[in-house]
Amino acid sequence: MWKYPKKRLWQCLVLKIKGRWISMSMGLYIHIPFCLKKCHYCDFLSFSLSNKKILYQYVYYINKEVKLWYKTADEKKIDTLYIGGGTPSLLPPHLLRKIMSVLSQHFSLDKNFEFTIEANPGTLTYDSLKGYVGEGVNRISLGVQSFDAAVLKKMGRTHGEKEVEESVVLSRKAGIRNLGFDLIYGLPEQTLSQWENTLKKALEMEPEHVSVYGLSLENQSLWALKKKKGELFLPDQDTLADMYFLSREILLAHGYEHYEISNFAKPGFRCRHNLKYWRLEPYIGIGLGATSYIGKCRINNFSSYDDYYKSLEKGELPFETVEKLSLDQEMAEFMFLGLRTAEGVDEGEFFEKFEADMYQVYGKEIKFLLEQGILWKRNGRIMLNPCYYPVANEVFLRFI
Ligand code: SF4
């Protein structure tokens, strides 16, 4: 990855003008990096919110960034908006209104756009939810993680089962018809039956969407450090696989579609925003540390407040790095992101996007994986056999 020089960025955006996706509506992500307190396993870009004034300042800069993107991006149509974090539900509705007012003045928001806000149980009230719905929010992604009180405490979460129940009731009352739960398995000392219990409790609350993530400990989280010292006892690989397949079994039996390795949805409730990532479609990321994919470039915003704010003060987009993907990289990403989804990769779409035959570019790899039963082929598409979902990353290495 190379450091961002202005001229190269311009070349990327010129490429975008020539690119086929120009008429496509984009996705927009806004990062809100504040939480009540840091969870013990978390290494996301998020910080404890010490002072509410910081939120006002942050929203001011978000709006500056929106205006700069307006000047830079040719495509102004947005059909999915995702506010993630951190804990975006710490944002009072009047601050969300400030963002939406600038956004709608500069971008054209599709009338059927999907508008998700991430929320943590215990941070939502009926008034805040009504306020969000008033701004167009139609999907809530709730960070439930577990229904085991002892485990939640160990994780450093600030809520329990009661707060989840309240959030669900209040969301429904405020008019939310599309509610997603995030759950984590593979937690320290977690057993298969404890995980089953979490899944069952989640299903009792009838969310339209469920994401199940295996615990992943990277970098500097408190738990990652504990693990290094041998003080954290995690389930073994076999138990993790059992937990994963148990989730699949239970969720399929309850009418959910397993549409991406970690994601399940009731028919008609797949997350349209996240599908853009897996289909390698363009999106803009706004906010501290946010990532964009536009004009065949992967762009990362500064992740330090100082650099982020200074850059915007100078009237520049706050890019720390801009990586122009080579054709090989782009094709490889299209393959392994597409293979994360149940729909897989379509031969015709590959050809339209790259003017190349997928079976010529990856003939050897695809042939081998089909022969091994790791990939399936149906109606011009190839897809990953779900038995191999837990080891998908190893399969994807073949395309890199
Ligand atoms: S609420 Fe989410 S983003 Fe915030 S510290 Fe916990 S895991 Fe990290």
SS3 for 143? strand
| Mean local confidence (pLDDT), 20-29 | 71
203 found inside a domain: yes
Task: Supply the pLDDT for residue 8.
Answer: 37
Looking at the CA of residue 38, tell me the nearest atom of ligand 1: 5
The band of 218, judged by pLDDT with boundaries at 50, 70 and 90, is confident
Query: Does 302 map to a domain?
Result: no
Residue 371 has which token pair?
């022969």
Domain shared by 248 and 336, yes or no: no
In a domain, 197, yes or no: yes
Helix (H) or strand (E) segment spanning residue 141: strand 139-145
pLDDT confidence tier of residue 219, bands split at 50, 70 and 90: confident
Which residues make beta-bridge pairs with 126? none
Per-residue pLDDT at 222: 92
257-290 pLDDT tens trace: 999 999 999 999 999 999 999 999 999 999 999 9
Euclidean distance between CA atoms 56 and 385, whole angstroms? 47
Same domain, 26 and 174: yes
Q: What is the pLDDT of residue 16?
A: 39
Does 142 share its domain with 64?
yes
Closest residue by Cα to atom 3, ligand 1, is: 86
What is the DSSP code (8-state) at residue 158?
A: S
Same domain, 109 and 50: yes
Residue 272 sits in the same domain as residue 360 = no
> CA 101 to CA 95: how far, in whole Å?
10
> Cis (ω within 30 of 0) for the bond into 86?
yes
Residue 323 within any structural domain of the chain? no
Does one domain contain both 156 and 23? Answer: yes
Rounded distance from Cα 35 to ligand 1 centre (Å): 6
Ligand 1 center to 157 CA (angstroms): 8
| Predicted pLDDT at 4 | 38
Q: What is the CATH number of the domain that holds 333?
A: 1.10.10.920
Which of 278, 296, 312 is the C-terminal boundary of a domain? 278
33 lines ligand 1 (CB under 6 A): no
The pLDDT of residue 312? 98
Residues 6+ apart with CB under 8 A from 229: none
Q: How confident is the model at residue 75 (pLDDT cuts 50, 70, 90)?
A: confident
pLDDT at 74: 80
Binding site membership of 141 for ligand 1 (Cβ less than 6 Å): no
* Residue 134 and residue 212 in one domain: yes
161-174 vs 126-134: helix axis angle to the nearest 10? 40
DSSP string, 185-229: ES-TT--HHHHHHHHHHHHHT--SEEEEEE----TT-HHHHHHHT
User: Is residue 359 a part of any domain in this protein?
Assistant: yes
The rounded Å distance from CA 223 to ligand 1 centre is: 13
pLDDT tens-digit series, residues 308-340? 999 999 999 999 999 999 999 999 999 999 999
Can you give the pLDDT at residue 374?
98
Cα(44) to centroid(ligand 1), Å: 7
| 87 Cβ closer than 6 Å to some ligand 1 atom | yes
- Where a domain ends, among 261, 278, 295? 278
pLDDT at 220: 82
CB of 287 within 8 A of CB of 279?
no
Which CATH number is 112's domain given?
A: 3.80.30.20
pLDDT in tens, 152-193: 999 999 999 999 999 999 999 999 999 999 999 999 999 999
Atom of ligand 1 at shortest distance to CA of 35? 4
**By percentage, how much of the chain surpasses pLDDT 70?**
94
Given a cut of 70, whether residue 11 has pLDDT beyond it is: no
Whether pLDDT at 371 is above 50:
yes
In this prediction the pTM is 0.93
- Among protein residues, the one with the nearest Cα to ligand 1's atom 8 is 42
Q: How many CB atoms lie within 10 A of CB 270?
A: 21
pLDDT at 9 over 60: no
Do 252 and 332 share a structural domain?
Answer: no
Say yes or no: CB of residue 86 within 6 Å of ligand 1.
yes
The number of CA neighbours under 13 Å toward the Cβ of 276 is 23
Structure tokens at 377: 């082929």
Residue bearing the bigger pLDDT, 101 or 17: 101
Rounded CA separation 155/234 (Å): 13
191 with 340, same domain? no
**Are residues 208 and 334 part of one domain?**
no
142 CA distance to ligand 1 centroid (A)?
12
| pLDDT > 90? residue 100 | yes
Residues 152 and 256 in one domain: yes
Is 195 part of any domain?
Answer: yes
254/393 same-domain check: no
* Domain end position, chosen among 220, 246, 278: 278
Residue 73: pLDDT band with limits 50, 70, 90: confident
Sign of CA dihedral 172, 175, 178, 184: negative
The answer as to whether 145 is a domain residue is: yes
Confirm whether 214 is domain-assigned: yes
How many A from CA of 209 to the centre of ligand 1? 20
As for how many domains the chain has, the answer is: 2
Nearest one of 46, 56, 33, 77 to 282, comparing CA atoms: 77
How far apart are the C-alpha atoms of 336 and 278, rounded to whole Å?
8
State which residues form the domain around 350: 328-400
Average pLDDT estimate for 40-53? 92
What is the best residue among 44, 91, 187 to mutate for testing ligand 1's pocket, by most ligand atoms within 8 Å of CB? 44
- Residues 324 and 297: beta-carbon distance below 8 Å: yes
